[in-house]
């Protein structure tokens, strides 16, 4: 399968340790994060993480499922980056 | 620190009250500076406290308790080295989906990040080996955090949860109360099958010619063993199990294929290989089971039911993936399954069972075969004991030679393969199920990793029989070296005889079995027996188990025995070797 850059949009509870948890989950499995940005949303209790990762569809799907299993993750969406 | 008013309690007292409210009946733990305030509240706690002798042992006890009881195990340790000592135990529970709530002390908040005495970043260290962790920053958060931790540990795929509590938080006052209910904003693991999924499930089963049920630990966690039997019997479907699934289906049943995978039965692996429909229930298609992925179950459609969405399609592509509780799904689906005979398929399987039974040959008339030890225990306990194993050859023989027939009666570290699990986990299991006989089966290597916990069984007069299958080697490693590394037994021999030259030991025949495990068990206060003579095996095991006392049986066995059949890692089923 083809390796491509995927942009994950991850909405998470704004709590201590969440960033480390998300980043650890991706990097701990050997996937390289290309860019990462974290910012607030209008709802101050929710942060939005934009994560670019390289991988084939299967890998990305697995990462999304694992992210969704996290207790502090509200929603994850993804799209291929052109 | 807030000033105390009448309704207020310390964080430590609030923690103990919250643990009780969460249903804690037993707390396994080990004290230290950062949890002294909590320990100070324990003598009046409404639950029992069990003092382990090493924090890894405490977590394995909580783990064995949880596996045997189906309720979370709870433990309490201090900061720094106490916390880091729990990591192997947490990882073991995490891999096998065992619910544990582990409280760790932490240095006071104003010292966090200063390299304070016994400071370790526990939430950081444990991240990859727990389902979740909390760092509690105020005493007011304690009741809610405990409630959430128990909820997370037990909902969705179960797992261990750490609550790290700084010492100043334990000493602060709060009037926070235990919540009526838990609602987590972002975690809603419950998921059910749609009616179209159920319909497809039934249709696939009803159309299959060579179906196989492949049952794992998820069946036991969901309490679905009866429903699996019901499905199997309705349509005469044979059942293979994973290591974690042993006990999910009665192996005395003619439909039982028994263990699948690396050391599984030929019938189980051949059946999966030739099947046209695999009904995978509460499994995760671990590499120990699938062998070479590209060759795995090529002829089969696969239905996969599991509570963990991430496990579906992870290793093996599936035709129908259902994220739901196994029991919920089967309760609905079973009534739609048409009765079937599958006579030709079952005849073929019976032929494999006859041609390739799970068996072994004696190697020397005066030397006990390790497999015979398992058979003796099975006979003496009539297959009703709770069996707890360590990790290695003896674990695989336990999987193969017991006739597993009850859920939660075979407790073993499957995913992590943690040596040292057996002794403490058996203690936890015996505390969880005082009405049952508990037998631990350990190797001489693994037993030495957590031997210190034996004294806990003695102190509490637990009727556990600890059996050490002593082959004077790290047998499973020795086996791989024999088969795949040209018989170079580097690092795997425990007797002085036979060690590699670079260990620079004098080959002194006096020291073949060091330490003297029987004496060591005696020193811990257990009734200890050593058996060498095959003729005395059954009687000694019977005496130990029937004594109802904490007993220890060291059985000196044939050191050259190997675990067969074996489908070496990454090989297809054709690569199975039998001797
Ligand atoms: C903590 C840990 N260290 C190392 C291993 C690797 N390992 C797997 S089986 C085994 C040998 C176990 O020896 P023993 O306990 O005597 O059991 P036997 O195989 O001889 O029955 C080893 C070293 C492990 N599984 N766990
Ligand atoms: Mg051994």
DSSP category for residue B295: G
How confident is residue B546, by pLDDT bands cut at 50, 70 and 90?
A: very high
SS3 at position B74: strand
**In chain B, what residues touch A13 (CB-CB under 8 Å)?**
185-186
Please judge whether B127 and A21 are an interchain contact, meaning their C-beta atoms are less than 8 angstroms apart. Answer: yes
How confident is residue B3, by pLDDT bands cut at 50, 70 and 90?
A: low
Q: Is the dihedral of CA B396, B397, B403, B406 positive or negative?
A: negative
- Tell me: the pLDDT tens digits for B353-378? 999 999 999 999 999 999 999 999 99
pLDDT given at position A82? 67
How confident is residue A2, by pLDDT bands cut at 50, 70 and 90?
A: confident
Q: Is the CB of B394 under 6 A from ligand 1?
A: yes
Q: How far apart are CA B560 and CA B514, in angstroms?
A: 18
User: Please, are residues A10 and A68 in contact by the beta-carbon 8 Å criterion?
Assistant: no
Phi-psi region of B80 (alpha: psi -120 to 50; beta: other; left: phi over 0): left
pLDDT reading at B72 higher than 80: yes
- Find the B418 Cα to ligand 2 centroid distance in Å: 14
Contacts of B115 (CB under 8 A, 6+ apart): none
Please judge whether A72 and B135 are an interchain contact, meaning their C-beta atoms are less than 8 angstroms apart. Answer: no
Note the maximum CA span of chain A.
39
How confident is residue B507, by pLDDT bands cut at 50, 70 and 90?
A: confident
- Tell me: the pLDDT tens digits for A19-71? 999 999 998 888 889 999 999 999 999 999 999 999 888 889 999 999 999 99
Query: At B561, phi and psi to the nearest 5?
Result: -65, 140
- Tell me: the pLDDT tens digits for B415-448? 999 999 999 999 999 999 999 999 999 999 999 9
- Tell me: the pLDDT tens digits for B138-168? 999 999 999 999 999 999 999 999 999 999 9
Contacts of B543 (CB under 8 A, 6+ apart): B529
- Tell me: the pLDDT tens digits for B238-252? 999 999 999 999 999
* B508 Cα to chain A: minimum distance (Å): 46
Mean pLDDT of B463-490: 97
As to burial, measured by CB atoms within 10 angstroms (0-12 exposed, 13-18 middle, 19+ buried), residue B533 is exposed
Q: Which tokens hold the place of B102?
A: 């582990």
pTM of the model: 0.97
- Find the B396 Cα to ligand 1 centroid distance in Å: 12
Nearest CA in chain B to A63: B310
pLDDT given at position B536? 98
Q: How far apart are CA B49 and CA B469, in angstroms?
A: 31
* SS3 per-residue string spanning B410-423: EECCCCCCCCCCHH
pLDDT given at position B141? 98
């Amino acid at each position: 399968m083809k390796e491509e850059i995927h942009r994950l949009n991850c909405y998470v509870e704004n709590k201590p340790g969440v960033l480390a948890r998300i980043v650890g989950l991706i990097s701990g499995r050997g996937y390289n994060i290309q860019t990462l940005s974290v910012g607030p949303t209008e709802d101050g209790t929710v942060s939005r993480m934009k994560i670019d990762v390289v991988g084939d569809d299967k890998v990305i799907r697995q990462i999304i499922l694992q992210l969704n299993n996290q207790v502090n993750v509200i929603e994850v969406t993804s799209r291929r980056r052109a | 620190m807030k000033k105390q008013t009448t309704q207020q309690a310390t964080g430590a007292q609030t923690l103990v009250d919250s643990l009780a409210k969460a249903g804690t009946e037993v707390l396994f733990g080990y004290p230290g500076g950062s949890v002294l305030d909590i320990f100070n509240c324990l003598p009046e706690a409404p639950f029992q406290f069990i003092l382990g002798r090493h924090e890894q042992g405490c977590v394995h006890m909580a783990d064995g308790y949880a596996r045997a009881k189906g309720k979370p195990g709870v433990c309490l340790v201090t900061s720094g080295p106490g916390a880091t000592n729990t990591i192997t135990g947490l990882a073991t529970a995490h891999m096998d989906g065992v619910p544990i709530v582990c409280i760790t002390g932490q240095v006071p908040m104003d010292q966090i990040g200063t390299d304070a005495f016994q400071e370790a970043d526990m939430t950081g260290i444990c991240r990859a080996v727990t389902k979740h962790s909390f760092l509690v920053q105020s005493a007011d958060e304690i009741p809610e955090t405990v409630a959430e931790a128990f909820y997370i540990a037990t909902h969705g795929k179960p797992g261990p949860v750490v609550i790290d509590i700084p010492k100043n938080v334990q000493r602060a006052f709060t009037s926070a109360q235990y919540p009526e209910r838990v609602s987590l904003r972002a975690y809603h693991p419950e998921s059910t099958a749609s009616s179209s999924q159920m319909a497809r499930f039934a249709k696939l089963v009803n159309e299959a010619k060579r179906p196989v049920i492949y049952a794992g630990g998820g069946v036991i966690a969901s309490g679905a063993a009866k429903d699996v039997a019901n499905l199997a019997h309705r349509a005469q479907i044979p059942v293979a199990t994973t290591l974690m699934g042993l006990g999910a289906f009665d192996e005395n049943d003619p439909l039982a294929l028994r263990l699948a995978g690396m050391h599984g039965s030929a019938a189980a692996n051949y059946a999966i290989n030739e099947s046209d429909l695999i009904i995978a229930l509460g499994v995760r298609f671990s590499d120990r089971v699938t062998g070479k992925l590209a060759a795995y179950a090529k002829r089969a459609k696969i239905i996969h039911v599991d509570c963990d969405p991430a496990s579906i399609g992870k290793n093996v592509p599936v035709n129908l993936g259902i994220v739901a509780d196994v029991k919920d799904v089967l309760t609905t689906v079973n009534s739609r399954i048409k009765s079937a005979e599958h006579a030709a398929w079952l005849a073929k399987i019976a032929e494999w069972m006859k041609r390739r039974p799970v068996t072994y040959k004696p190697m020397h008339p005066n030397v006990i075969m390790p497999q015979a030890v398992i058979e003796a225990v099975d006979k003496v306990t009539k297959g009703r004991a709770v069996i707890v194993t360590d990790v290695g050859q003896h674990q695989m023989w336990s999987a193969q030679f017991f006739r597993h027939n009850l859920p939660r009666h075979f407790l073993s570290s499957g995913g992590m393969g943690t040596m040292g699990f057996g002794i403490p986990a058996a203690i936890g299991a015996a505390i969880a199920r005082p009405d049952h006989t508990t037998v631990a089966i350990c190797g001489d290597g693994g037993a030495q990793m957590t031997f210190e916990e034996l004294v806990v069984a003695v102190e509490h007069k637990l009727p556990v029989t600890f059996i050490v299958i002593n082959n004077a080697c790290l047998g499973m490693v020795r086996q791989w070296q024999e088969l795949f590394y040209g018989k170079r037994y580097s690092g795997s021999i425990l007797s002085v005889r036979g060690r590699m030259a670079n260990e620079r030991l004098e080959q002194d025949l006096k020291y073949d079995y060091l330490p003297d495990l029987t004496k060591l068990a005696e020193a811990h206060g257990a009734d200890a027996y050593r058996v060498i003579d095959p003729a005395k095996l059954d009687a000694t095991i019977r005496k130990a188990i029937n004594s109802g006392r904490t007993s220890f049986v060291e059985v000196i066995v044939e050191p050259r025995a190997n675990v067969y059949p074996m489908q070496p890692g990454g090989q297809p089923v054709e690569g199975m070797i039998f001797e």
